A and B are shown apart, each in its own frame.
Chain A
Amino acid sequence: MLRRFSALPYVIWSGLFIIIPLLLVAGYSITSKDLETGAVMFSLENFQKFLDPLYLKVLWRSVKLAGEATIICLLLGYPMAMILAKMPAKTQRIAALLFVLPMWMNFLLRTYAWMYILGKTGIVNKLLMALNLPTVNFLYNEGAVLLGMVYNFLPFMVLPIYTVLTKIDPSVVEAAEDLGANAITVFKRIIVPLSVPGIISGITMVFMPAVSTFVISALLGGGQFMLVGNLVEQQFLLVNNWHFGSAISMILMVLILISMAVLNRYDTSETTGSGVSMI
């Protein structure tokens, strides 16, 4: 009895609040409302509308920025994860915790704080002025949004890679060294291949929130900066066109499903889940 029914509340809950909402979004995306009669009919015009170069450009910009952020996070994060994994046990625990700790300060506020550092009268520009150098306009451009993405999502790259690295059996590395491999060969042939599951979780956990963000672009990109996320937000909260908004959400979901399917082809082990527990 207990075994059979203990999942029942969640079966109902997930049906109501996970499955049905997604079906509704799918339904909204393939229908549109006739402005005169108010009748809702099947149509693909929402998807056709998205093919406008204006919107495609926004999609391309989102994918490009999220891709760049993912690559930068990987390049910055991998060495950091390696350093972390080789620290003495006690320091290691504290250092790993230091990557999680920032998450306990509101992320909007942390992102906003970059304005105090990089703004027109921010700390960096004050330093430049003090040194009699010309001030630089860092904010309200693509670079600022990219910085915001790297800043917010770097821990999501470091932690899964670090977790996988700590699980590598040291004797495997020793065996390679005994057989005459130098540090570079060990890194290329042993460490990197064994850390692939961590890299994949890391890439997923950086790329996904980056490609769908609308907060970072709204805060650091200035009012006019548009990513796919901003487009969805606009359709739902400003324009009130749920049909078009739903279509863009569907496109975003498909985009993420495709990128996850592509990534999973590189993943040979079954430990991809390691990332989820680190959030």
Chain B
Amino acid sequence: MSKWAKRIYASLIFLFLYAPIIVLIVFSFNAGKYSGNWEGFSFRWYQELVDNSSIMKALYYTLTVAFASSIIATIIGTFAAFGIHHMRPVKKTIMLNVNNIPVLNPDIVTGVALMTLFGFVKMKFGVSTMLIAHITFNIPYVILSVLPKLKQLPQDALEAAMDLGATPWYAFRKVIFPEILPGIVTGCLIAFTLSVDDFVISFFTTGNGVTNLSIAIFSMARRGIKPVINALSTIMFGTVLGLLLIVNRRTGDLSELDV
């Protein structure tokens, strides 16, 4: 392929990927109510966003569940990865396979399976069920990002520290933890992102008027999505973009962020 053919091809693919995003961002500044008709530039939807209590509530649930689930998953997952790393081969294989189930199973199966469990034990569907579901699908990603870092550690690092008089907990904090920290951070970021973006599993495990943004968007889709949602998504997308640019400028390297 010639250089130009390559450039045109890459541009067309990126156009395909970004066309909907550009349209969403442009229409978030539309003065009119109906996306599709451009009626002039305005910040109207950004102002209405603040007053829209149902969307603000959905945003609140989305962020609360994302923060809580990613932090809990990171803690459980980091210790689990450490434990799994030191397990005997048979046990290790079993645990790794169990850990892969939520990653490989389609979301809808994970969703209905958890719904079946919660329904079976007659748990009240709401924030708590949604949180448990999010923690469950987040932990495997934390483990999968921490395990490779543990494998890179010299095998006897922990023994060496303990021979020199460190307690196991002290050795974990001072020797293991700093070395696997990049993996923990990556895992936490993946967990947070997955949680914010999740629709399918949340859809089956929520209840009682607890709605995250994805569920709000899905239920709005039939009647037409309000431009306020476009405004909110533009802000969220802009925030992530901004954060990435800052991280990129600081470290000049995005390799830790290749989620």
Contacts from A to B (Cβ < 8 Å):
1-11, 13-14, 17-22, 24-25, 28, 76, 79-80, 83-84, 93, 95-114, 116-117, 119, 121-123, 151, 154-155, 208-209, 211-215, 218-219, 229, 232-233, 236-237, 242, 245-246, 249, 252-253, 256, 260, 273, 276-279
Contact = CB atoms under 8 A, between A and B. Distances in A.
14 contacts: A10-B79, A25-B109, A25-B113, A97-B244, A99-B17, A104-B237, A106-B214, A107-B199, A108-B217, A117-B19, A208-B106, A229-B106, A246-B116, A256-B105
Interface stretch (B44-52, B63-71, B95-103): B95-103
A278 B258 CA distance: 7
B83 A18 contact: no
A19 B22 CA distance: 42
A257 to B, nearest CB: 9
Contacts, number: 222
Given A13-B139, A151-B17, A208-B106, A246 B112 contact: yes
Given A13-B76, A80-B10, 16 more contacts: A3-B168, A4-B83, A17-B117, A17-B136, A25-B113, A80-B9, A104-B193, A107-B197, A114-B20, A208-B104, A213-B108, A214-B200, A215-B199, A233-B108, A253-B109, A278-B259
Residue from B105, B109, B135, B136 having most chain A Cβ neighbours under 10 A: B109
Interface string B29-62: 0000001110000000000000000000000000
Interface of B: 1, 6, 9-10, 13-14, 16-21, 23-24, 27, 35-37, 76-77, 79-80, 82-84, 86-87, 95, 98-99, 101-109, 112-117, 119-120, 132-133, 135-136, 139, 141, 143-145, 168-169, 172, 190, 193-194, 197, 199-200, 204, 213-214, 217-218, 221, 225, 229-230, 233, 236-237, 240-241, 244, 254, 258-259
B18 A102 contact: yes
B240 to A, nearest CB: 4
Contacts of B168: 1-3
A156 B259 CA distance: 12
B170 to A, nearest CB: 10
B117 A6 contact: no
A41 to B, nearest CB: 17
A60 to B, nearest CB: 18
A202 to B, nearest CB: 15
B233 A109 contact: yes
A3 to B, nearest CB: 4
A99 B115 CA distance: 33
B108 to A, nearest CB: 5
A237 B202 CA distance: 13
A9 B20 contact: no
A7 B84 contact: yes
Contacts of A242: 116, 119
Q: Which interface residue of B83, B141, B236, B254 has the most chain A CB atoms within 10 A?
A: B83
A123 B258 CA distance: 34
Contacts of B35: 116
> What is the interface of chain B mostly: helix, strand, loop, or mixed?
helix
A103 B204 CA distance: 22
Given A96-B258, A105-B233, A253-B105, A113 B83 contact: no
Nearest to B255: A93
Given A10-B80, A110-B21, A18 B237 contact: no
Given A13-B136, A155-B17, A249 B76 contact: no
Point out which of B99, B106, B214 has the most chain A C-beta atoms below 10 A from its C-beta.
Answer: B106
Contacts of A13: 76, 135-136, 139
Contacts of B21: 102, 105, 110, 113
B116 A19 contact: no
A121 B6 CA distance: 33
A20 B132 CA distance: 14
Contacts of B16: 151, 154
B196 to A, nearest CB: 8
B233 A229 contact: no
Minimum-distance CB pairs A-B, first 10: A7-B83, A212-B106, A10-B80, A113-B20, A21-B113, A6-B83, A6-B79, A21-B117, A104-B240, A2-B168
Contacts of A14: 95, 98-99, 139
